[in-house]
Amino acid sequence: MKIIFVANPASIHAIRWIQQISGYDIIIYSSNNCYCNPDFKYPVYSPLPGQNKFLCFINRLIFKLILYIQKKFTWISVVFDIYFYILVFYLKPDIIHTLGINNNWNICLHPEIKVIKSRKNRKKPIWIVSSWGTDLDLFPNLGRQNYNLVKSIFLKTDFYISECHRDFSLAKKFGFQGEFLGFLPAFGGIDIENMNQYSTIPPKNRNGIFLKGRDISDGDIVGRGLNAIKALNSIQEHLLNLDIFIAQSGPNIHNEVSRQKEKLGINYEELGYLRYEEILQKIGLSKIFISLTVNDGLPGSLIEAMILGALPIHSNLDPIREWIEHGINGLLVNPENIDDVRGAILFAINNPSFIEKAAHINKKIIEDRLSYYTIRKRVIEIYEQVIHNY
């Protein structure tokens, strides 16, 4: 079986998904021409040559220029159409699997749609689409062009995989009439035995709080990390013996943290760029995990916090409620309400037994629903089902 994955070759989600199905003939069509994660061991094709760091820096500049030009002159996409046509004709894949919509956008998705339209009476290549994160609930609302693109995708999609019930409902509203393959996380299953090495301290005895620092002030339109920082700043007397690990912080978060760190005596630690394993180590040192966004699907970091025993304090969103029950195995908050966030943090700090109880519940949830071997088996079955029954 030959599969072309349209994906970001630097994405840890894409890597983990594809690594589940080793043994197939796998090709990557790079969706953003950025530097490949070294764990990617498969051939990567791209209209813009080069996967070393220097060429990828140049590619990013070219890519941004093309996106700008494409808004003015739609004919530029013909270059990508031709490239993808030739790639499909030459490689003759059985399946094209799109891993995410927003991260692939027009330059990769338009050629895919045209290739699928050109099949006429032929059944191959089969098109599978996986939606991630904000793909269907936010991305289509950012402009008519985005909306039309998503609608065009689902009118031609043969098979669809969703992270959550919300997105499956939205896919049908966008015209999806193909076969639904089920609810599966973008990042595949969780290797629980491997995760155990990062969770050696009982959650209630840990001295860390892990915070995702993405924020709208730094260009992340769904992030509200600054509200978490403000909530923490207002309870500094409760944080004297705690380390606050901040991931994905931008300039505005950095400036706020720098101003308040010495003034309030809070031990903020911005993580900067760390390897995936180093991030897991920090979560494993944390009793609380905080993530505030106004839109999301199923975040990998939430699942990692759950299996590593850090109590989730998360935005109260539909997809999150499929995994977290407020007051049972986590705390759900309004990401725009600093008082709400502050109250949740204080409750968690003052109730170590709740943190410990939630950790046991969460580990059982992940073991039952997201075990690596269970998910891997299901993913392989899906590809076999698609190729033999279509």
- In the chain the domains, ranked by start, together with CATH numbers, are 2-189+371-389 (3.40.50.2000), 192-369 (3.40.50.2000)
For the stretch 147-164, what's the b/e string if a residue is b when 16 or more beta carbons lie within 10 angstroms of its beta carbon?
A: eebbebbbebbbbbbbbb
The tens digit of pLDDT for each residue in 119-176 reads 766 678 999 999 999 889 988 888 888 898 899 889 989 999 999 999 999 999 999 9
Predicted local distance difference test score (pLDDT) of residue 271: 93
pLDDT of residue 247: 95
Q: Express as a percent the part of the chain with pLDDT over 90.
A: 61
> Which portions of the chain are predicted below pLDDT 50?
52-55, 106
* Assigned token pair, 90: 């030459």
